[in-house]
């Protein structure tokens, strides 16, 4: 039987959660015995090759591309997991949520202390994904099956949860592995 496939992505995140996944150290050898990676920055596969057992989502949704990728993951993955505080609650990008979008643009491209932009233009290329008015946690956009909070979630949290799911055991993590920081 073919190994189950796992896909991962980083939306409005910092790749810290992917770093934490790599932090499982030599257990990554056991992991590749259990699974194949599909679309993921780890193997640089850009498009889904088929159905996946598990999708790991790092980061929340701050722009339209994030939403499309997240919906793509929901369509391809049997189980979708929000990994990290950005995916579960918006995280650092969500600090802009109570500031109007125009003010964010002005600060980033016009008025910021280190900005030099005499023309006062704000980047508006059709290739750039449009920002959403707010940063949304993943479960406010699609159905999410599991949440693993943490900034980042410890490597043990990711390992224990993945192994439990892939071996059909309940995801019942000890107290020390579910933390918000």
Candidates 13, 55, 59, 91; binder of another protein (CB under 8 A) is 91
Nearer to another protein, 55 or 137 (CB): 137
CB under 8 A: which stretch of 62-70, 108-116, 123-131, 138-146 binds another protein?
Answer: 138-146
Q: DSSP class of residue 109?
A: I
Nearer to another protein, 77 or 84 (CB): 84
Within 10 A of 87 (CB to CB), how many other CB atoms are there?
31
| Cα four-point dihedral sign 165, 74, 11, 132 | negative
What is the smallest separation between the CB atom of 151 and another protein, expressed in angstroms?
4
Map tokens 């850009």 to a residue.
46
Map tokens 């280190």 to a residue.
114
The closest of 148, 150, 159, 151 to 23, measured between CA atoms, is 159
Positions in the binding site for another protein (CB under 8 A):
82, 85, 88-92, 94-95, 97-98, 134, 137, 139-140, 144, 146-149, 151, 175-176, 178-181
């Amino acid at each position: 039987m073919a190994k189950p496939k796992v896909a991962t992505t980083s939306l409005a995140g910092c790749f810290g959660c992917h770093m934490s996944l790599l932090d499982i150290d030599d257990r990554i050898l056991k992991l590749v015995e259990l699974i194949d990676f599909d679309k993921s920055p780890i193997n640089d596969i850009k498009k889904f090759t088929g159905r996946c057992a598990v999708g790991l989502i790092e980061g929340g949704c701050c722009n339209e591309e994030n939403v499309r990728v997240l919906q793509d993951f929901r369509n391809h993955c049997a189980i979708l997991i929000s990994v990290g505080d950005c995916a579960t609650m918006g995280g650092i990008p969500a600090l802009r949520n109570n500031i109007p979008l125009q003010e964010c643009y002005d600060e980033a491209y016009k008025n910021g202390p280190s900005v030099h932009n005499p023309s006062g233009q704000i980047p508006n290329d059709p290739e750039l994904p449009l920002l959403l008015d707010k940063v949304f946690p993943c479960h406010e956009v699609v159905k999410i099956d599991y949440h693993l909070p943490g900034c980042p979630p410890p490597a043990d949290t990711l390992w224990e949860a993945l192994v439990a799911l892939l071996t059909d055991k309940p995801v019942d993590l000890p107290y020390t592995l579910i933390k918000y920081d």
